[in-house]
Structure 1
Amino acid sequence: MVVKLLHEKGLKAEHAYTAAFASIGLSVASWYASLKAEPAGTARADRWGIFIGEWAPTFFGLGLALANYERDHDRHHSTTH
């Protein structure tokens, strides 16, 4: 299970949520930077913003999966110890 492996490597739900919010901010920043720095204009800026913005739902989903795993893991350990 990927979530178990990530949890064992030290990744927590709050890390995934932080990455999700950071990707939202990075999406806006990359859109703005691309709009100002590249001659391709709005179309390319929009593509950069959308590309990075698509990371947020993945990180939120991963955060939810980790939160559920952590809750179940903690519940299991509290009843067995």
Structure 2
Amino acid sequence: MVGWMLHRAGLRSTHLHVLSLGSVVLCLCLWIRAKTVDQSERGNAERRALFTGLWPPTLWAIGDSLREFE
């Protein structure tokens, strides 16, 4: 149902797969940036990077489910 609605809205599996790969790059950038911030802010920056690292599998799975409708 949700996959069908996303497909009707114009999203395609390729869009979500690219977003998934982009979020991997974003996670790596945030992780590298976390190493450059002050020690008092480092924990927060690392948590932000880890949270972003949870997105790729979810976006990839949604992209795979959209492939059924293409």
Unpaired runs of 5+ residues, structure 2, are: none
- Aligned-residue CA RMSD (Å): 1.6
| Structure 1 position 23 matched with structure 2 position 30 | no
**Higher Cα radius of gyration:** 1
Matches within 5 A, 1:2-81: 2-40=2-40, 42-70=42-70
Residue segments in structure 1 that go unaligned for 5+ positions in a row? 71-81
Identity %: 29
Q: Which has the higher contact order (CA 8 A, sep 6+)?
A: 2
Between the aligned partners of 2:69 and 2:61, the Cα distance in structure 1 is 12
Q: 1-side partners of 2:27 and 2:13: how far apart?
A: 21
Q: How many residues align?
A: 70
Q: CA deviation at 1:48?
A: 1.8
Normalising by structure 1, report the TM-score: 0.75
